[in-house]
Structure 1
């Protein structure tokens, strides 16, 4: 059974609550969208976690039965600040969560997609690698939030698409050194296709999440 993008995003939105950093939520949705097109159905196990929930998790393997799953007490996890997500891959038609570990090539693809958006990966932690964990920055230890590029609007932009934000079209035109008309016309379509060919992307003139990332990267 192939899981639809609408279903994947609906499940994700249950975890991407109002307590989540909006950029983390947008990045996670963009990666889910991008990888769904490649047949990789990504789900969210954890997003925001209260300090009380963190303390209960910390108690596992210590004062409560179970295995140790975290070394962070309440207030010491980036989940408590809404800047982190734990991701998995749906299996058995969405009935089971599969947590990936090296050397699974699917994990390598997921990590690459998240790092393209400047997300840090828990698998890089030498002392206690956390393979499902991704965070935008280390809020616990006072790391400043990184500057990000303009946010993908959540749906493809192309000539003839409805309800396009002219400000976004002007950003694209500025990036491609075109007059800032705010119109997605034939000239812009031609330049987008040319840009896509230069970056070995499907030259369809449609600006989806992958083309957007190549246009703007992760920094302003």
Structure 2
């Protein structure tokens, strides 16, 4: 932009507009796919559950804003978490304050990490997707739904489900995670055969301990990018 362009620029000629980031942080808890939510303490939608989010600062990149919200609002200060950009939501009336475009990110985290965030955070709750007890603020129900569809669609060709598991896991654990994401039961022999043939996992020769089941063999993820 030239100096002449700057002199001709009139900010009042353009409608007000802002950009936010919203985080969809998911885990599997007791066989259910859950999402981290936060109860809003300011209008609009004061007292209503929403995804952790915030405005992007004038000198801030989208990734920087997402990392800041992850730390300041989602309770992951000092921890590194993988975030994938999901989609941009820009319906004109999605926010009653002004025209606000939201760039949504989503991540998969082990249940223990999300539980720690809920315990340490202000107004944070972990809610199963299958049992949403109340409507969410803004268009966040749609954002969560799209993140879930993205997750289901990637299960067959990417090893991202391993982000929800500890470093060592059983085939039973792996199947439980897939079933929680898909919302349906899977055929045990067929699932195990597919996972063993995928090249994503390798046996460790170790067996689980302190279990109500017959001790099963432990596996680890060997797929590149499988542990996020």
Same structural fold, with TM-score higher than 0.5 when normalized by the shorter chain: no
Greater radius of gyration (CA): 2
Higher strand share: 2
Q: TM-score, length-normalised on structure 2?
A: 0.29
Higher helix share: 1
